[in-house]
Structure 1
Amino acid sequence: MTGAGDGASPDFKRDMLAQLPALRAFAVSLCGRHDQADDLLQNTILKAWSNQESFTPGTNMKAWLFRILRNDFYSELRIRRRELQDSDGEHSAQLAVHPGQHAALDLKDFGRALEALPSDHREAIILVGASGFSYEEAAAICGCAVGTLKSRVNRARASLRDLLSLGEDDDFGPDTTFPAGSSGTKSV
C-alpha cells in the first residue's frame, strides 16, 4: 500500500489490527452474511488506513473503527435500496436507450452545416432558434428590420435542410425505423 499509510505509526497499525475480531463480529451482526461482512470489514480497514490522519492518537480506536464500519454499512444499504433486483433480466429487457453515437454524429453534421451558412443567416438562426430571442429582439440586436431578420431565419432553415439533406417534415431525434425495444425485424 502506498499513499496515506506510508508514514503509519506502529501503534496505529497494531491498535487497528487488534480490533479486527470485534469489527468482524459487528459486521456479521449487521450484514447477516459472512461474505458481505468480510467485504464490509475490508472497506472499513481501507478507509481507516487511508484516513488515519483524521484519527486522534489517545482516543478510542475501537469506537472510531466501529463508526466507520457502521457508516459504510448504512451507506451501502441506502444505495442497494435504490437498486432494482432484476436477476432474470425481465425489467432490463423492457428498457431501451437509443445509441448515443447517432446523436453525436447528427450534432457534428449540424455544426458543420451551421458553419457553412453566411454569417448573417447563422447569426439570425442562432439568436432566434438557439438563444430564444423573439424576432423583434433579434432584429434589434442585429440592427435590421424584423422582416429582414425573419427572411434570414427562413433562408437559414432552408439552407440547413438542404445541407443536411432533410425534407420538410424530417426531424432530428431517435430512429423511427426501428423503435426502442424492437429487434430490427418486422413481424408478418
Structure 2
Amino acid sequence: MSNPSFRDDLVAAIPMLRGFARSLSGNRDRADDLVQETLAKAISNRDKYRPGTNLHAWLVTILRNQYYSEGRRRWREISDAEGTYAAKLTETPGHDSQLEMREFLAAMQVLPPDQREALILVGASGLSYEAAAEVLGTRVGTVKSRVSRARARLDLLLNGGEGFSRDEDAVRRSMAQLTRAMSG
C-alpha cells in the first residue's frame, strides 16, 4: 500500500463503511469486524482497484459481499459450544438392546450358581419366593437373601464394578427392566 492517496481514501471511507456495516448487521461490534475485514481485503486486492473509479462503491461491494458470505456460512452453522445440539443428532443403534442383553447375561454368569438360580426363578420365571424355595429345596429366607445379593452384585457389575465397563444409560435401562421383572 505504497500509494498515500489510496491509503488516505481508505481512512476517509471508514466512517461511511461503519455506518453501512451497522445498518446491515445491526450490531456495533459485528459492524467493526466487517469494516476491518473489508479494509484488509481492499488492501490485499489493491491491484484490482482501478484508480479514477468510485472507491466507496468498491469498498461497499466488498463489505456487502463479506456480510452475505458470512451470513450464508453462519446460516449453515449452529452455535453448540456445549454439544447439546450435536448430541440430539445421534441415534442409538438398533443393536444396543442386543448388546445390553449380552452384557446382562455375561454379568449373570459371574454370579454364584445359587444366587443366579434364585434370581432366575423369582425374577425371570415369576415364581414366588415360596415356590422358588420349594424348587430349590431351601427356606424362603434363604431365597430372599440370594435374590437380594444377586441383585446387588448385578448392580455392581453393570455399573462398571469388577472390570465391567458399561454405558450408564444402558445400565440404568437394564437394571430398571430387571427390577420390574423381579418385583412383578
TM-score bracket for this pair, using the shorter chain length: 0.3 to 0.5
Structure with greater helix share of residues: 2
Larger relative CO (CA 8 A, sep 6+): 1 or 2?
1
Q: TM-score normalized by structure 2? A: 0.48
TM (norm. structure 1) is: 0.47
Larger Rg: 2
